C-alpha cells in the first residue's frame, strides 16, 4: 500500500492477531487446573496447592463478567501493548520486523496458547510487560523527572508474575540487575541501591499479595510446602530408579516398612516425563505420604549431598524432557476447549467439551510441530543471540531487554532442579520472551559496532 509505514503495519498486524485470537478462542481454554483455580477464586476457598494469587485474579475478573473471557482479554491485551510499545523504544520499525511479526502472530505461540487459562501464560505476559516497562524507564532515566509510573508498573507486573510462579524470582533478580545497571550510569553506589531496592520492593509486594489473596479462614498457605514435598518424593523415587542400591537410611529410621515398597515400586512407575506416574502405585503413595516430613526432607538432602550421581542422573533426564520434549505429543503441546470434572463445571455453570473452532485451532497447531515455534531449545538459542547483540550495542533499553533474555534463560535452567513434568507450557515464558526479543532486534537491526552507554 503506497505510503504505508512499517510502524503502522506492525501495529496493525499485532492488533489483528489479538482480534483473531479473541474471536476464535473466547472465553478461553480451561483444563482441570484452570477450572479448579476459577472455582477457588469465585467461591473464596482453597482446595489445591495452586497459587492463591492466580485464583484471586480469576475471581476478580469473574466478579465483573462471569467466566474467564474478560481475564483472557486482559491478559492478551497486556502482551499486545508490550509488543507494540517496543516500537517506541527504538523510535522506528523495519519491514523485517513487520514480516517477523506476521509469522509470530500466526503461530500457536501467540494465536493459541495465549487463550489458555494457565498461570504460565499470565506469568509470561507479565514478565515481558514488566521488563518492557523497565526498558521504557531506562530510556528516560536521565530526563528531569524520574519515570516513577513506569517503575511502579514494572514492580507490580513482576510481583504478580513471581506470585503465580515461585521460580519466577529468578526473573525478578535479573530485573533488579537491569535496574541497577541503569542507575549505575552515575556511579556504582546508586546502581547498587536501586538494584537492591527494586529487588526487595518486588519481593515484599509479592508477599503482601500472597497474604491478601488467601481466603478468610483458610489458614497459612500450604502451596509451597506441598509442592516441595511432591518434588522430594519424585527426586527420591527417581534416584532409586537410577540406582537401586541406595539405602534410604533417613526413611528407614522413621518408617522402615516404606523402604522395601519404594525399592520395589520405583523402577516400575518412575518416568522422567512426569511425576503423575507415581500415582499409579497406591502402595508407593502410602509409603511416601505416611513417612514424616522431617524424614523425607532429611532423605532428600542426604541424596543430594551423599549420592549426587543418582540425583543428577534423574534431574538431567527430567530436565531433558521439559526442555527438549523428545516426544512432543506426550507433553501436552496443545490444549483447547474445556475439560474438567462435570460436577465442578456445573457449579461454575460452564459447558464442557470442544467447539468446532477449537478442533480447527488444534489441527492448525499441529502443522507447526516441525517448526522452531515448537522448540524450546530454538527459542533458548534465539534468546542467547538476542542478548549478545544487545549487550554489544549497549543502549539503555537494550540492556533491560538483554536482562529479560538472560533472565528467562536462567528461569529455564531452574527447571533442572524443580521440573516434575514435561508439559510444554512450563517453558512458555522462554518462548514468548525470545519472540519479544527477536521483534525488538528486528525493529532496528544493530550495526556491528561497539556501543557507549548514554
Give yes or no for residue 454 having a pLDDT over 50. Answer: no
Report whether pLDDT(225) > 90.
no
Q: Is the pLDDT of residue 123 over 80?
A: yes
pLDDT at 450 over 50: no
* Closest of 409, 363, 404, 408 to residue 132, by C-alpha: 404
Same domain, 20 and 45: yes
What is the pLDDT at residue 448?
39
Q: Are residues 174 and 237 in the same domain?
A: no
Query: What percent of the chain stands above pLDDT 90?
Result: 87
- The domain total for the chain is 2
**Four-residue CA torsion sign, 212, 213, 214, 217:** positive
Total-model pTM: 0.94
Question: Residues 22-68: pLDDT tens digits?
Answer: 999 999 999 999 999 999 999 999 888 889 999 999 999 999 999 99
49 or 239, higher pLDDT? 239
Domain that holds residue 233: 223-303
d(CA 260, CA 247): 10
- Arithmetic mean of pLDDT over the chain: 93
Q: How confident is the model at residue 220 (pLDDT cuts 50, 70, 90)?
A: low
Does residue 204 sit in the same domain as residue 247? no
Domain shared by 206 and 260, yes or no: no
pLDDT for residue 446 = 62
428 within a domain of the structure (yes/no): no
245 and 147 housed in the same domain: no
Residue 74 counted as domain residue: yes
Distance CA 14, CA 220 (A): 42
Grade residue 452 by pLDDT with cuts at 50, 70 and 90. Answer: very low
Please give the Cα distance from 435 to 109 (Å, whole number). 9
Q: Is residue 262 part of a domain?
A: yes
Residues 81 and 208 in one domain: yes
Read off the pLDDT band of 103 (50, 70, 90): very high
Give Dmax over CA atoms of the chain in angstroms. 79
The span from the CA of 61 to the CA of 118, in Å, is: 14
The answer to whether residues 211 and 232 belong to one domain is no
Pair (242, 191) in one structural domain: no
Q: Once rounded to an integer, what is the mean pLDDT over residues 280-307?
A: 95
Residues 6+ away with beta carbon under 8 Å from 370: none
Q: How many CB atoms lie within 10 A of CB 80?
A: 22
Cell of 265: 515400586
User: Is residue 40 one of the residues assigned to a domain?
Assistant: yes
Q: What is the CA radius of gyration of the chain?
A: 23
pLDDT at 440 > cutoff 80:
yes
Flag whether 178 is in a domain: yes
Cα distance between residue 57 and residue 41, in whole Å = 7
In a domain, 328, yes or no: no
Q: Using CA atoms, how far apart are residues 399 and 392, in angstroms rounded to an integer? A: 9
Q: Domain ends where: 268, 303, 338? A: 303
Model confidence pLDDT, tens digit, residues 146-179: 799 999 999 999 999 999 998 999 999 999 999 9
Q: Which of 303, 333, 362 is the last residue of a domain?
A: 303
Is residue 149 in some structural domain? yes
195 shares its domain with 229: no
Domain stop point among 249, 271, 303:
303
What per-residue confidence (pLDDT) applies to 453? 40
Same domain, yes or no: 110 and 198? yes
Same domain flag for 244 and 100: no
Number of neighbours of residue 277 by Cβ within 10 angstroms? 16
User: How confident is residue 2, by pLDDT bands cut at 50, 70 and 90?
Assistant: low
**77 and 160, same structural domain?**
yes
Asked whether the beta carbons of 424 and 124 are under 8 A apart, the reply is no
Residue 312 lies in a domain: no
Residue 410 has pLDDT above 60, yes or no: yes
Amino acid at each position: 500500500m503506497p505510503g504505508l509505514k512499517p510502524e503502522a503495519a506492525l501495529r496493525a498486524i499485532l492488533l489483528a492477531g489479538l482480534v483473531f485470537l479473541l474471536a476464535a478462542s473466547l472465553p478461553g481454554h480451561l483444563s482441570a487446573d484452570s477450572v479448579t483455580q476459577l472455582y477457588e477464586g469465585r467461591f473464596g476457598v482453597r482446595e489445591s496447592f495452586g497459587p492463591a494469587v492466580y485464583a484471586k485474579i480469576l475471581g476478580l475478573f469473574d466478579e465483573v463478567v462471569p467466566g474467564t473471557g474478560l481475564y483472557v482479554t486482559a491478559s492478551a491485551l497486556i502482551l499486545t501493548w508490550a509488543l507494540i510499545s517496543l516500537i517506541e523504544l527504538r523510535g522506528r520499525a523495519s519491514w523485517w520486523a513487520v514480516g517477523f511479526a506476521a509469522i509470530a502472530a500466526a503461530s500457536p505461540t501467540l494465536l493459541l496458547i495465549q487463550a489458555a487459562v494457565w498461570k504460565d501464560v499470565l506469568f509470561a505476559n507479565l514478565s515481558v510487560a514488566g521488563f518492557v516497562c523497565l526498558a521504557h524507564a531506562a530510556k528516560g532515566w536521565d530526563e528531569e523527572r524520574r519515570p516513577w509510573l513506569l517503575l511502579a508498573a514494572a514492580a507490580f507486573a513482576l510481583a504478580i508474575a513471581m506470585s503465580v510462579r515461585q521460580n519466577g524470582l529468578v526473573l525478578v533478580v535479573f530485573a533488579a540487575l537491569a535496574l541497577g545497571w541503569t542507575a549505575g550510569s552515575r556511579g556504582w553506589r546508586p546502581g547498587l541501591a536501586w538494584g537492591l531496592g527494586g529487588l526487595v520492593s518486588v519481593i515484599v509486594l509479592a508477599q503482601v499479595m500472597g497474604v491478601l489473596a488467601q481466603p478468610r479462614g483458610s489458614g497459612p498457605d500450604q502451596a509451597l510446602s506441598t509442592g516441595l514435598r511432591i518434588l522430594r518424593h519424585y527426586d527420591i523415587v527417581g534416584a532409586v530408579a537410577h540406582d537401586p542400591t541406595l539405602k534410604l537410611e533417613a526413611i528407614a529410621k522413621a518408617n522402615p516398612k516404606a523402604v522395601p515398597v519404594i525399592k520395589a515400586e520405583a523402577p516400575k512407575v518412575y518416568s522422567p516425563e512426569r511425576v503423575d506416574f507415581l500415582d499409579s502405585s497406591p502402595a508407593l503413595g502410602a509409603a511416601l505420604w505416611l513417612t514424616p516430613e522431617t524424614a523425607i526432607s532429611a532423605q532428600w538432602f542426604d541424596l543430594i549431598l551423599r549420592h549426587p550421581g543418582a540425583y543428577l542422573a534423574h534431574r538431567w533426564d527430567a530436565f531433558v524432557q521439559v526442555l527438549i520434549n523428545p516426544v512432543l505429543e506426550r507433553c501436552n503441546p496443545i490444549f483447547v476447549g474445556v475439560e474438567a470434572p462435570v460436577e465442578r463445571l456445573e457449579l461454575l455453570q460452564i459447558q464442557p467439551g470442544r467447539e468446532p473452532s477449537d478442533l480447527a485451532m488444534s489441527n492448525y497447531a499441529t502443522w507447526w510441530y516441525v517448526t522452531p515455534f515448537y522448540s524450546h531449545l530454538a527459542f533458548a538459542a534465539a534468546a542467547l543471540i538476542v542478548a549478545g547483540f544487545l549487550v554489544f550495542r549497549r543502549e539503555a533499553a537494550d540492556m533491560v531487554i538483554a536482562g529479560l533474555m538472560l533472565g528467562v534463560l536462567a528461569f529455564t535452567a531452574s527447571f533442572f532442579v524443580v521440573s516434575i513434568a514435561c508439559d510444554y507450557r512450563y517453558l512458555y515464558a522462554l518462548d514468548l520472551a525470545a519472540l519479544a526479543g527477536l521483534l525488538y532486534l528486528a525493529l532496528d537491526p544493530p550495526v556491528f559496532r561497539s556501543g557507549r552507554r548514554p
